[in-house]
């Protein structure tokens, strides 16, 4: 994973001597104007064909785009990029084919994901859409979503305009003043991001994850302690739990 250039298809392209590795779909056009996905997709696919990027994006699977529609659009884009990214909203992430990278929206003000982090653990590869490197770090190292293979963010640009660069400290990720103006801050940020996100990832997350206990089975007749949560690695309560609860509930 390295720092690469990308842009939204309907925006101004970077200078001609800059290689483009990521072409984003113009989602805002669908929100701001009364146009169909097909109207926006046609100019988008033309840009993808011209750029032949490493990463390209399929419209979100939601109420306006069915799962079948998204797969049909993916079929058109696939010959012109190395990796397809798809964001499932109205279908569970597990339904996305393994050869397509699953996208997670990381900026709630634009497109919040309806799924929890745990719903993405079954995915082969993941892309993080937008948001701060702080949140990306949390997802990868604290939540333990180690399948993250790519991410995009414009936050380092706005932070660099304030003279700050991203750095990982003993107390966690921070924005700190850096030298070299905007480009010096950008360089420092992306060097640090490449160092942090390319290092070995933990086999277990630093956060302790809990999931609601299932409401089924014979254990329902006995009851549980006030804390009704089980560890996600538990398939069912330990073998002696029913006896223990019965003995201590008198």
240 pLDDT above the threshold of 60: no
Instruction: Give the span between the Cα atoms of 196 and 137, in whole angstroms.
Output: 9
Residue 1 lies in a domain: no
Query: pLDDT band at 62, cuts 50/70/90?
Result: confident
107 with 224, same domain: the answer is: no
127 with 11, same domain: the answer is: yes
229 pLDDT above the threshold of 90: no
Q: Which pLDDT does position 167 carry in this prediction?
A: 96
pLDDT digits (tens, 9 = 90+) for 119-149: 999 999 999 999 999 999 999 999 999 999 9
37 with 132, same domain: the answer is: yes
DSSP state of 232: T
**What's the domain range around 218?**
211-248
250 pLDDT above the threshold of 60: no
Closest to 45 in 3D by CA, of 69, 71, 53 = 53
Q: How many domains does the chain have?
A: 2
Q: Which pLDDT does position 218 carry in this prediction?
A: 47
pLDDT digits (tens, 9 = 90+) for 68-110: 999 999 999 999 999 999 999 889 999 999 999 999 999 876 5
137 with 219, same domain: the answer is: no
Residue 173 lies in a domain: yes
Residue 40 lies in a domain: yes
Query: pLDDT band at 114, cuts 50/70/90?
Result: confident
Instruction: Give the span between the Cα atoms of 138 and 151, in whole angstroms.
Output: 13
22 with 72, same domain: the answer is: yes
> Which residue's entry shows tokens 């003995």?
247
């Amino acid at each position: 994973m390295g720092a690469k250039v990308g842009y939204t298809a309907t925006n101004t392209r970077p200078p001609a001597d800059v290689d483009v590795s990521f072409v984003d779909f113009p989602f805002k056009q669908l929100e701001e104007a009364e146009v169909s996905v097909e109207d926006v997709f046609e100019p988008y696919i033309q840009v993808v064909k011209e750029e032949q990027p490493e990463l390209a994006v399929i419209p979100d699977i939601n109420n306006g785009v069915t799962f079948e529609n998204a797969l049909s659009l993916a079929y058109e884009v696939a010959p012109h990029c190395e990796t397809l990214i798809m964001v499932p909203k109205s279908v569970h992430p597990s339904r996305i084919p393994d050869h397509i990278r699953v996208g997670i929206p990381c900026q709630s003000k634009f497109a919040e994901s309806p799924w929890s982090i745990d719903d993405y653990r079954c995915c082969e590869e993941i892309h993080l859409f937008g948001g701060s490197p702080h949140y990306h770090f949390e997802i990868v190292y604290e939540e333990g979503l180690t399948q993250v293979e790519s991410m995009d963010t414009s936050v380092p640009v706005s932070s660099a305009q304030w003279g700050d660069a991203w750095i990982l400290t003993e107390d966690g990720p921070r924005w700190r003043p850096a030298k070299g103006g905007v480009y010096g801050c950008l360089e420092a940020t992306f060097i640090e991001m490449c160092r942090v996100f390319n290092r070995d990832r933990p086999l277990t997350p630093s956060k302790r994850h809990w999931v609601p206990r299932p409401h089924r089975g014979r254990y329902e007749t006995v009851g549980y302690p006030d804390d009704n949560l089980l560890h996600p690695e538990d398939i069912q309560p330990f073998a002696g739990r029913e006896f223990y609860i019965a003995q201590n509930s008198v």
